[in-house]
């Protein structure tokens, strides 16, 4: 969507992401971490291979290791003169014979191929007869064919998931250098908010944002400093922002970012630091704000998310998460998206890109999405059911059967 179609004064979503990434200052402090507790941590330095992978030529399957030349001069079959399970050190293969070998077992010197057991016949004398052609090197995993010593294994900024941990363990690594966890202060604003477990009075709402954002931050390996609910007063929010500034690397605030009389985040940012931008051409999530709280030794960035829970979730996924990941030293990722057909129609949103919560319909042959439920910015039910977001350009109606960009929600759990 071109910028001239936007509501005046609002940033395009892609431009907002670019500005956030440009503003992110990655962590520089690291610490050693045992591999057993490193899940989700961020590598602070590149890792190179200590060992070749595989460490020696080995068999890719169960079968028989042999010398092709012996087949050509032995029409009566080859006797089995050696048995090689995984984990043993084989002797050199004698001429005129073959070795029973199992997957992962080292190839004996002298053998130049492995024939799968399915292509072998054993006669009454125990001799092996091979069916079909045989080629040199068949079914042998060569030493170093995946990695050689000194090859790059994982780059700095890699988030350690289960396959990455397995790769490190295969190199005999027991401890790895990771960035310290990013400290994020979480503030919920709103006189109407109370915590779950407290009886509701008229006009009150349970604070769902705190639980949701705390979980999302922990999912990203952040250390959460929960400053609780702050009343809609300038004095109360000023005190909370000062606490957050002094204790955290990043501040995340929900609510209070609009332009009402009780919305104090933007004026206080101007007083305590700097408001960089406010307002993104997206629905939900238009009031998103970004700025800094001044602090000796380095300013502290603040992400101001809307108070409505779905708007808070969507702006976290589209904007907040990529900024936090960049501050962790992670490599930024573009939004993953692919075209799908809309299984519904919907009128256009004026001047703002809309992110609709949708589900993929498995009954269709091609990818088709349908609305997950009500699309209000406070309707969490649809967000719980959604497989992703249908991203619709501003001023563009959704027409059933037309293609639109689909953003899988699973990408935000990575």
CATH of residue 81's domain is 2.170.190.11
Domain boundary among 179, 194, 229: 179
Residue 117 lies inside a defined structural domain of this protein: yes
Instruction: Please indicate, yes or no, whether residues 304 and 227 belong to a single structural domain of this protein.
Output: yes
Predicted confidence band of residue 257 (pLDDT cuts 50, 70, 90):
confident
* More confident position, 232 or 390: 390
Instruction: Please indicate, yes or no, whether residues 43 and 165 belong to a single structural domain of this protein.
Output: yes
Instruction: Please indicate, yes or no, whether residues 97 and 169 belong to a single structural domain of this protein.
Output: no
What six digits make up the tokens of 53? 């992978």
Q: Are 67 and 109 in contact (CB under 8 A)?
A: no
Q: What is the mean pLDDT of the chain?
A: 94
Instruction: Please indicate, yes or no, whether residues 99 and 129 belong to a single structural domain of this protein.
Output: yes
Helix axis angle, 234-247 to 265-272, nearest 10°: 50
Q: What is the pLDDT of residues 207-220, one digit of tens each?
A: 999 999 999 999 99
Backbone angles phi, psi at 392, to 5 degrees: -110, 125
Pairing of strands 353-360, 282-283: parallel
pLDDT at residue number 259: 64
pLDDT at residue number 273: 95
Domain boundary among 327, 361, 376: 327
What does the alpha-carbon distance between residue 266 and residue 288 come to, in Å, rounded to a whole number? 10
pLDDT tops 60 at residue 261: no
Residue 135 lies inside a defined structural domain of this protein: yes
pLDDT at residue number 7: 61
Q: Are 74 and 128 in contact (CB under 8 A)?
A: no
H or E element that contains 218:
helix 208-219
Predicted confidence band of residue 3 (pLDDT cuts 50, 70, 90):
very low
User: What mean pLDDT is predicted for residues 173-177?
Assistant: 97
Instruction: Please indicate, yes or no, whether residues 167 and 41 belong to a single structural domain of this protein.
Output: yes
Instruction: Please indicate, yes or no, whether residues 128 and 192 belong to a single structural domain of this protein.
Output: no
Residues forming beta bridges with residue 391, ordered by sequence position: 355, 405
Backbone angles phi, psi at 225, to 5 degrees: -105, 100
Instruction: Please indicate, yes or no, whether residues 85 and 187 belong to a single structural domain of this protein.
Output: no
Residue 40 lies inside a defined structural domain of this protein: yes
What does the alpha-carbon distance between residue 316 and residue 43 come to, in Å, rounded to a whole number? 23
Q: How many CA atoms lie within 13 A of 414 on its CB side?
A: 13
Residue 309 lies inside a defined structural domain of this protein: yes
pLDDT at residue number 183: 98
CATH number at residue 49: 3.90.105.10
What does the alpha-carbon distance between residue 114 and residue 278 come to, in Å, rounded to a whole number? 65
Sort residue 212 into left (φ over 0), alpha (ψ -120 to 50) or beta.
alpha
Instruction: Please indicate, yes or no, whether residues 300 and 173 belong to a single structural domain of this protein.
Output: no
Cis peptide before 54 (omega within 30 of 0): yes
CA distances from 75 to 64, 124, 294 (A): 16, 15, 85
List the domain range (segments joined by +) for residue 36. 32-53+146-179
Residue 101 lies inside a defined structural domain of this protein: yes
CATH number at residue 378: 2.40.340.10
Instruction: Please indicate, yes or no, whether residues 121 and 226 belong to a single structural domain of this protein.
Output: no
Residue 333 lies inside a defined structural domain of this protein: no
H or E element that contains 359:
strand 353-360
Sheet with 289-293, side-by-side order of all strands: 223-230, 183-189, 250-254, 300-305, 289-293, 273-278
- From first CA to last CA, the distance across the chain in angstroms is 27
Residue 332 lies inside a defined structural domain of this protein: no
pLDDT at residue number 4: 38
Instruction: Please indicate, yes or no, whether residues 260 and 185 belong to a single structural domain of this protein.
Output: yes
- Give the chain's domain count: 4
CATH number at residue 299: 3.40.980.10
Instruction: Please indicate, yes or no, whether residues 166 and 193 belong to a single structural domain of this protein.
Output: no
Cis peptide before 402 (omega within 30 of 0): no
Q: What is the pLDDT of residues 360-375, one digit of tens each?
A: 998 878 899 999 999 9
Q: What is the pLDDT of residues 305-353, one digit of tens each?
A: 999 999 999 999 999 999 999 999 998 889 999 999 999 999 999 999 9
- DSSP label at residue 196: T
- Specify the range with the lowest mean pLDDT, choosing from 15-19, 189-193, 235-239, 259-263: 259-263
Domain boundary among 299, 327, 355: 327
Q: Are 50 and 172 in contact (CB under 8 A)?
A: yes
Instruction: Please indicate, yes or no, whether residues 159 and 250 belong to a single structural domain of this protein.
Output: no
């Amino acid at each position: 969507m071109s910028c001239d179609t936007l509501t005046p004064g609002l940033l395009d979503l892609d431009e907002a992401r670019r500005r956030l990434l440009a503003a992110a200052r990655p962590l520089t402090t690291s610490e050693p971490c045992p591999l057993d507790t490193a899940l989700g941590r961020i590598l602070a330095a590149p890792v190179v291979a200590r060992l070749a992978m595989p460490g020696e030529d080995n068999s890719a399957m169960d079968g028989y290791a042999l010398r092709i030349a012996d087949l050509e001069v032995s029409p009566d079959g080859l006797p089995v003169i050696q048995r090689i399970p995984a984990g043993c050190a084989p002797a050199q293969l004698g001429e005129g014979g073959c070795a029973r070998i199992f997957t992962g077992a080292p190839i004996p010197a002298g053998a130049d191929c492995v024939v799968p057991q399915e292509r072998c016949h054993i006669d009454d004398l125990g001799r092996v007869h091979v069916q079909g052609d045989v080629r040199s090197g068949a079914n042998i995993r060569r030493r170093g064919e995946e990695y050689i010593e000194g090859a790059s294994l994982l780059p700095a900024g890699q988030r350690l998931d289960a396959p990455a941990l397995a790769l490190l363990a295969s190199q005999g690594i027991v401890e790895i250098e990771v960035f310290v966890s990013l400290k994020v202060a979480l503030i919920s604003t709103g006189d109407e908010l109370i915590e779950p477990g407290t009886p509701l009075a008229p006009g009150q709402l349970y604070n769902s944002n705190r639980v949701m954002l705390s979980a999302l931050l922990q999912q990203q390996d952040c250390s959460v400093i929960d400053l609780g609910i702050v009343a809609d007063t300038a004095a109360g929010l000023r005190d909370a922002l000062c606490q957050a500034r002094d204790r955290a690397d990043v501040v995340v605030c929900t609510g209070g970012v609009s332009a009402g009389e009780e919305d104090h985040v933007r004026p206080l940012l101007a007083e305590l630091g700097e408001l960089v931008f406010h307002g993104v051409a997206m629905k939900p999530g238009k009031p998103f704000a970004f700025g800094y709280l001044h602090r000796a030794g380095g300013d502290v960035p603040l992400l101001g998310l809307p108070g409505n829970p779905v708007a808070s979730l969507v702006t976290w996924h589209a904007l907040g998460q990529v900024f936090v990941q960049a501050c962790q030293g992670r490599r930024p990722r573009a939004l993953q998206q692919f075209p799908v057909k809309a299984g519904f129609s919907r009128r256009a949103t004026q001047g703002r890109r809309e992110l609709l919560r949708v589900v993929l319909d498995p009954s269709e042959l091609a990818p088709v999405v349908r609305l997950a439920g009500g699309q209000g910015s406070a309707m969490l039910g649809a967000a719980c059911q959604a497989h992703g977001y249908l991203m619709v350009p501003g001023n563009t109606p959704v027409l059933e059967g037309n293609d639109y960009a689909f953003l899988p929600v699973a990408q935000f759990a990575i």
